[in-house]
Amino acid sequence: MINIAIEQGEDRRDTIRQAVEQLGDEFIERCRNANQIFIKVNLVDHERYFACTHIDAVRGLIDVIRERSNTSILIGDAGYRGTKAAFSNFGYDHLGGEYSDITLVDLNDDEFVDGYTIKSDDSQNPIRRSKIATSPGFKISLSPMKTDAKTGASLTVQNWAIGTWIVPPRISASGQVWARWPWLDSEGEVAHHQSIAELFNQQKCHLGIVDGIMAMEGDGPVRGTRIDMGVVLAGFDPVAVDSAAATLMGIDPLGIGYLKACHEMGVGVADMTRINVPPMQMAQLRREFKRNIKSEI
């Protein structure tokens, strides 16, 4: 059975902290033994804080790390509309003055290693992957709980897979963006999900944390509406964390193509019968999230 920490609360920083503390000695040892810790946040849109990883969620995580470890911490993303603007708008620039040895990194500017996505004919499409996503000894995906109009749910696996993929900028109606959708949409829905699973398989993170204090339903992952859940989930199997989170959202995790693919590839567990969560607490917390989804596998 895969253990998942679930913590309820209204104070985001404190609830994240309590969920991470539930991870116990394994979390402490990973922090102490790592050459670096990389916290992959979701900064998809620098104007829509509701769609992004809240700064207090990051603080709650770093609070626990810094009580137990002095390991250097990198915090970053390859934001769709610009990571640096999001750092500034959402207060990330203050973290360096609040904690020791903190570095903010824009993965859009990072060195790269080779990777690939999947085409509709099952062949490989070569891409560039952030080098930072490969080198730190402890890699954490910290993501908001959101629906996604194309994939069903945007959680820690999707945050990690898509947000560590480096693409050249392009000009859109809203200005400069770093868009992955041209490679995904052109290959169809099945390849889209397979690509997320394969990107995760190529370079996995070690810990997934879903911030569901204030979640998003409807037209996610950017333009949805608020739904108060008051919950945080954390665990060393990000696929299992996402599966538990999806269940709380009223979504069958095996109905989300990339989670099912990860499960079938053996890079995580999406079968809720193999995930150790309190059934009564899950039943009490579960909601039916509104979704604006094109189709589902």
Give the rounded percent of residues in the chain with a pLDDT score beyond 90. 91
For 257, residues 6+ apart whose C-beta sits below 8 A from its C-beta are 151, 152, 189, 190, 192, 193, 194, 197, 296, 297
- Number of other CB atoms surrounding residue 195 within 10 Å: 26
Report the candidate in 46, 297, 2, 38 with the shortest Cα–Cα distance to residue 150: 297
Query: pTM to 2 decimals?
Result: 0.96
pLDDT band at 296 (very low <50, low <70, confident <90, very high): very low
Output DSSP code: residue 107.
G
Alpha carbon distance 229, 209 (integer Å): 15
pLDDT of 288 above 50:
yes
Chain position carrying tokens 């995906």: 141
Average pLDDT, the chain: 95
Q: What is the arithmetic mean of pLDDT over 52-59?
A: 98
In a domain, 83, yes or no: yes
In a domain, 120, yes or no: yes
In a domain, 295, yes or no: no
pLDDT of 203 above 90:
yes
Give the rounded percent of residues in the chain with a pLDDT score beyond 70. 98
Structure confidence at residue 287 (pLDDT): 96
Alpha carbon distance 174, 190 (integer Å): 28
Structure confidence at residue 175 (pLDDT): 82
In a domain, 291, yes or no: no
Domain that includes residue 187, residue range: 2-285
pLDDT band at 48 (very low <50, low <70, confident <90, very high): confident
Q: What is the arithmetic mean of pLDDT over 37-44?
A: 98
Pairing of strands 170-172, 175-177: antiparallel
For residue 92 the two structure tokens come to: 């990330």
pLDDT of 294 above 60:
no
In a domain, 85, yes or no: yes
Contact 165, 195 (CB under 8 A): no
pLDDT of 17 above 80:
yes
For 212, residues 6+ apart whose C-beta sits below 8 A from its C-beta are 144, 145, 229, 230, 231, 232, 233, 245, 248
- Number of other CB atoms surrounding residue 25 within 10 Å: 8
Count helices and strands (H / E) in the chain.
Answer: 11, 15
pLDDT of 293 above 80:
no
Q: What is the arithmetic mean of pLDDT over 132-145?
A: 96
Q: What is the arithmetic mean of pLDDT over 45-64?
A: 95
pLDDT of 204 above 60:
yes
CA distances to 124, 188, 194, 293 from 199, in Å: 11, 16, 8, 22
DSSP secondary structure string, 180-239? -HHHHHTT-HHHHHHHHHHHHHHS--SEEEEEEEEEEEBSTTTS-EEEEEEEEEEES-HH
In a domain, 228, yes or no: yes
* 10 φ/ψ angles, rounded to the nearest 5 degrees: -110, -30
Q: What is the arithmetic mean of pLDDT over 125-142?
A: 95
Query: How would you write 232-293 as a 3-class SS string?
Result: EEEECCHHHHHHHHHHHCCCCHHHCHHHHHHHHHCCCCCCHHHEECCHHHHHHHCCCCCECC
Count how many domains the chain has: 1
pLDDT band at 49 (very low <50, low <70, confident <90, very high): confident
In a domain, 61, yes or no: yes
pLDDT of 223 above 60:
yes
pLDDT of 295 above 70:
no
pLDDT of 297 above 60:
no
In a domain, 296, yes or no: no
**pLDDT tens per residue, range 150-185:** 999 999 999 999 999 999 999 888 789 999 988 998
* Bridge partner list, 276: 3
CATH number for the domain harbouring residue 223: 3.40.50.11440
**pLDDT tens per residue, range 95-111:** 999 999 999 999 999 99
pLDDT band at 1 (very low <50, low <70, confident <90, very high): very high
